[in-house]
A = this chain, B = another copy of it.
Amino acid sequence: MEINEFISRFKEALQKNHSIIFGAQCSVNYNGRAESFLRQGDRIVIVKPDKTLLIHQPSGAAPVNYMKEGTSINIFNSNDKKAVIKSKNLNLKEYLTLEISRIYFLQNHELVDGEKIQLAGTEKDMADMLIKEAHLIEKGFKPVSQEEQTKYGFIDVLGYDKDNILTVIECKRYVGDLKAVSQLRRYVEKIKSSKGIRQVRGILACPKISPNAKRMLLDFGFQFKRVEPPKYLEQYDKKQRKLFDY
């Protein structure tokens, strides 16, 4: 595609507030929270109606460069037969420039999507499960109400063990690591000082724990409890997996 045609079509798409996707050989220049430069190469660029800008290289899951929602975008023709896209986000003081030397394709469409993703198996789901099925922590464990939790802020599960000792539980949906133990420790200390209680138990509930995290956990007198994040749609999973046996 010729540069001038690209520029006029891109401008028109911006005007219409379409979703814009193009493939191009370009270099990228970013200045804001950090600074970056990316030499010329082939990339996929997306401009969304909310003025999010994404630049993807032909490999990897994360965009190599991007601008957040609410970015202002301008395009013009440089002297040397290149298209230049300048984007800026004044609130965030971020600036990104694309120098485009070759265009492979351009698509723009009005895309409509009001749906929100439904997700199961999160840390919150784990906490909900542990409150409903307290025996998964240990026999005689009594979780306190959910409202009581929010009063203390960000503690996943708070309760009393069979000996009525206040217990803080931190859930992790995957491997418990040093950060998780530090976090648990912070909460236990917060509870101790805010409630003026000397003895508070700490439990890290997760499917696995790293060796160093386990050592640190035990050093602080905390405990590890193996818990799997709940799979609400397990029945459905099995069906799905079967369908994949092609």
Contacts and interface: CB of A to CB of B under 8 A. Distances in A.
Interface of A: 19, 21, 23, 28-29, 31, 33-44, 46, 48-50, 52, 54, 56-61, 63-66, 68-69, 74, 86, 88, 95, 97, 104-105, 107, 109, 111-122, 151-153, 173-174, 178-179, 182-183, 185-186, 212, 215-216, 229, 231-233, 236-237, 240-241, 243-244, 246
A59 B69 CA distance: 8
Nearest to A105: B107
B112 A42 contact: yes
Nearest to A107: B105
14 contacts: A21-B21, A34-B119, A34-B173, A41-B114, A42-B109, A42-B111, A50-B60, A86-B246, A95-B240, A105-B109, A152-B178, A152-B216, A179-B182, A179-B183
Given A33-B173, A86-B246, 11 more contacts: A19-B23, A31-B237, A33-B121, A35-B231, A35-B232, A36-B119, A37-B117, A38-B115, A95-B241, A104-B107, A152-B212
A121 to B, nearest CB: 4
A185 B220 CA distance: 14
Nearest to A26: B113
B44 A111 contact: yes
A29 B114 contact: no
Find the residue from A33, A88, A111, A229 having the highest chain B CB count within 10 A.
Answer: A111
Given A23-B19, A50-B59, A111-B23, A117 B64 contact: yes
Given A69-B60, A240-B31, A115 B179 contact: no
A47 B232 CA distance: 29
A65 to B, nearest CB: 7
Contact of A58 (B54, B68, B112, B185): B112
Contact of A186 (B37, B86, B182, B246): B182
Given A23-B109, A114-B41, A178-B152, A59 B52 contact: yes
Nearest to A19: B58
A153 B182 CA distance: 12
Contacts of A183: 179, 182
Given A37-B118, A121-B35, A58 B243 contact: no
Given A23-B19, A34-B120, A46 B48 contact: no
A244 B118 contact: no
